[in-house]
Amino acid sequence: MQPDFYRIRPATKADALAMAQVKQITWEATYRGIYPDAKLDNYSIPDNIKKFEQLIETPDVDVWVAECNHQGKLFVCGYMSCGTPRYPFSRYNQDIGMLYILPDHQGKGLGRQLFEKARELIKGKGYNDFFVCCNKYNLPAQQFYLAMGGVLVKTDPDEEDRSVPQVIFTYVIED
């Protein structure tokens, strides 16, 4: 499905349901066979709505959604969060905590738009670097983060639960 256009805007609490649905669909498409089936099968929309509502109201985190317009209908097809890391890494004070896009809308430049918005927001707060974590086995995400200029600085060791190991990319914001 090719949308008429994409638009990114700050998320509101009213977006929490759509964000929870995007996450569920994206996790299913990306992590089935990587994450334990129980983790995916037991995904809770209500629990994730609450988490997104709380995240949207967190003062030191910015949350943005990507809207798609297809034949006059607007719907959330992706989102990102950036700001103070929930899980700190080294000396870095900022991260892109989440960047999810529905599978049908990946590879169309929307991830780049969201990533660049995060970079702009982080720079606007006076920071000149940040990091991103992603699952060690999510190779398409790793390729994306490398293409966005990331430097792979850490790779966790393998674990039986393949949802745990992460890789970390760092970025320098150029003037």
Tens digits of residue pLDDT in 26-65: 999 999 999 999 999 999 999 999 999 999 999 999 999 9
What's the DSSP call for residue 14? G
Residue 20 has pLDDT above 60, yes or no: yes
Residue 41: both structure tokens together: 């099968």
pLDDT digits 0-9 by tens, 79-119: 999 999 999 999 999 999 999 999 999 999 999 999 999 99
Kindly report, residue by residue over 127-168, the tens digit of the pLDDT: 999 999 999 999 999 999 999 999 999 999 999 999 999 999
Domains assigned to the chain: 5-172 (3.40.630.30)
For residue 69, the model assigns a pLDDT of: 84
Contacts of 34 (CB under 8 A, 6+ apart): 135, 137, 138, 162, 163
Mean pLDDT for 10-24 is 98
Hey, what amino acid is at 129? D
Residue 5 confidence (pLDDT): 67
- Burial class from Cβ neighbours inside 10 Å (0-12, 13-18, 19+) for residue 73 reads exposed
> Phi/psi class of residue 149: alpha, beta or left (left: φ > 0; alpha: ψ in -120 to 50)?
left
Q: Which tokens in the block code for residue 166?
A: 């992460």
Rounded distance between C-alpha atoms, residue 113 and residue 58, angstroms:
22
pLDDT surpassing 80 at residue 68: yes
